[in-house]
Every structure is written in C-alpha cells, then in structure tokens.
Amino acid sequence: MKPDTTSSAIALLTRLVAFDTTSHKSNRDLVSFVESYLADHGVASHLVPTEDGEKASLFATIGPEGVPGIGLSGHTDVVPTVPADWTSDPYLVREEAGRLYGRGTTDMKGYLACVLALVPEFKRRTLKVPIHILFSYDEETGCTGVRPMIAELGDRLTKPRLVFVGEPTNMTVVDAHKGPMRWRVDVTGRAAHSSMAPIGVNAIAIAAELIAELNRIEHDLKTATRDDRFTPPYATLQVTEISGGTASNIVPAACHFGFEIRALAGLDVEATERRLATFAETRFLGDMQRVAPEAGISIRRVNSVPPFAAGPSSEAVALALKLAQQNETYAVSYATEAGLFQTADVPAVVCGPGDIAQAHTADEWIAISEIERCLAFLGRLADWAET
C-alpha cells in the first residue's frame, strides 16, 4: 500500500484513539467524526442509536446502493484503562520502534482506521460489489451494540453478502471461535442470629453447593464436545464473581454469583442450564422454603454470544484467504461479533490487524507493519470488488 495511505491510517488512528470510548461512556463523538469524514468523501451514513441517544452504530455503503456487498465490521468501544499502569497517555498515540501505543490501537481502532483510510480508494474505483461499513458499540460488554444494527439488515439497511470482522488476528483468517454464555445466580435465604442458625437459611452455604455442582459440570464439559483446533480443546466453565453476607454473626440471607461458559459449536448449553436448575430445585428448594417460604434460587442468563463456525464451504472464508494470500484457517478461544452475523444468515469471517495478546493490556500497541498488511488486504478487496 502507498506510504501516504499508511500515513493516513496512522493519522486516523490517532484521532480515533483520542476519543475515550470506554464501554460505559458514549461513543457519539467518535461516530460524529466518522460520519463527517465519510460525508467529506461523498458517503452517506445511517445511524442505529440507542433509545437514549448516548450511543450509536454506523452503517454506510460505498458503491451501488441496495446491492448486497462486503461488510467491514468493527466495534468502537474499548476496555477501561488504569493510567498509572501506562508509561504514556492511553488516549494519545505514541509511535516508538515501529509500534503505535494507545488504548484500542489493537482492539480494534487500528482496523477502523484502516477501513477509513481506504475510503478514498474505494470511492475512486468503479465497484461492482459495494463495500459496507458497519461500526458498532458495546462489543466489550457482550456484543450488545451490533444486535440492533443486525436486526435492521435486509430492512432499512442493506444486508451484506458477507462480512469481514476485523478483530486482531495478525491478519490470519479465523473461521471459528468459542461463544461466551453468562449467568447470574441469586440465592435468597433468611437472616438469623448465627447462634440460632436453624431458624435461618444460609444463602452462602447453598451457593457453595451450587458452585460445587458447577465444578462437576465443568469436569463433564471437558469430554462432552472436543475440538483440537482450540486451546483448550473443550468448553470451559468458570465462576467469575460472588458476593453475599453482611456480618460474621448473621446467617446470610442473600448471595449471588456469576458464571460463564465458553462454548464450542454444538454444545447443548440449555442442557447445562437445566442440569443446574434441577439440582437446585431437587436438592435445596423444598428444605429452604419449609424454613422460609420466601426463600428461592434464581438462575438467569444475562448474556449470550453464539459460538462461530463458518463451515468448509464458506464464501467469506474463501474470499478472505484469497485476499490474505493464505491457505490455512485458524480457530480462537476469544469471541467476536462473527457468530451473531452468522446466526442472522450473513456469512462471516474474522481477519484483522494486531495481536490479541496486546488487547486489554496496559501500553497496548499495534505494529505499523500490521497496519500496512491490513491496508494491502483491503486494497486487494478493492481490486476484487471492481472486477
């Protein structure tokens, strides 16, 4: 790719990183910048805002309108920073030794910058297959922001023929990943003086028994569905948070905990949920409510990102391999929005600049060489879309 395109991508990345789009904050300033940038190049944007207007996804098309094309998808949000852990300002891109440091440089504003840097080139071409730009919000908190935009594909927004999700893969082609499923379990007991424990219901003790059952489920998951392309090659289950109790001399009336499964494609997650619910009901609920009728156990799924498996005949994978000039695909254990596109009948593949090992870290960085590789990939996409 031309040196001036690389310079443009770095300049755009600097602008994008300067917007603090940590997931709990608004992304509207960044979206407004992108909207204005695209308008300057004669490209109209369509926004999919949240109800309160604090956040928005952006959809734009370069090339023939109303024609299914190639979607370039990325998220605008980043994870929080602890500035004291950084050796420079997280929101001011610093270049050193061929690296660009800053929050989101790898995950995944580097990709967004590459897509935007290619807009003038996409506009210059006579594209027969359009390029769609899909920038979302709140990927880091459960891929929630892209869902309303996906819901409008085929309606107000043109449904892409296929989508490239530009999460960091070192520009290798990823055709499968695990899917995180998360639950919250609330145990409601009854408080009592700890010297009179039998008249209370100890919510922490019951939560501990439920967690023990989850440990047994985790053991079983290791043999339920295996795929040696992943590390580890099985679905994982972790209890990720717990809280309960008020004082050392009070039988705890409440306890809640969260757990997560990183599922492989084909895992019956509903069966796992039913197993825990049956265990809770048959082993504890009756005894709890004989002491305290108000006692109960609630098991609620709070987020679900489907696992992704493109399949051997995927047009998205075939095109990505061609553009990346590779002949091998990979599977990863982290999640992306690709599974949601696939579920919506939009073939997807994951391929983007940067190393996932740098994501979410202090002094996050992306190599300039990765920016150049991504720009070259997108340049070949322009060639393909024009022919």
DSSP string, 84-150: GG-SS-TTS-EEETTEEESTTIIIIIHHHHHHHHTHHHHHHS--SS-EEEEEES--TTTS-THHHHH
Dist CA 347 CA 84 (whole Å)? 42
Dist CA 77 CA 30 (whole Å)? 10
Dist CA 366 CA 107 (whole Å)? 9
Q: Report yes or no: 109 and 78 within 8 Å, Cβ to Cβ.
A: yes
Q: Which of 46, 34, 43, 40 is nearest to 116 (CA)?
A: 34
Q: Which of 380, 310, 302, 368 is nearest to 144 (CA)?
A: 302
Long-range CB contacts (within 8 A, 24+) of 26-29: 26/54, 26/55, 27/55, 27/56, 27/76, 27/77, 27/137, 28/53, 28/54, 28/55, 28/56
- Catalytic residue numbers read 77, 139
Amino acid at the residue 355: D
- The H or E element spanning position 370 is helix 368-386
Please report where in the chains the tokens 């530009």 appear, as a residue: 166
DSSP string, 263-319: EPTT--HHHHHHHHHHHHIIIIIHHHHHH-TT-EEEEEEEEE---EE--TT-HHHHH
Dist CA 299 CA 259 (whole Å)? 10
Dist CA 245 CA 167 (whole Å)? 41
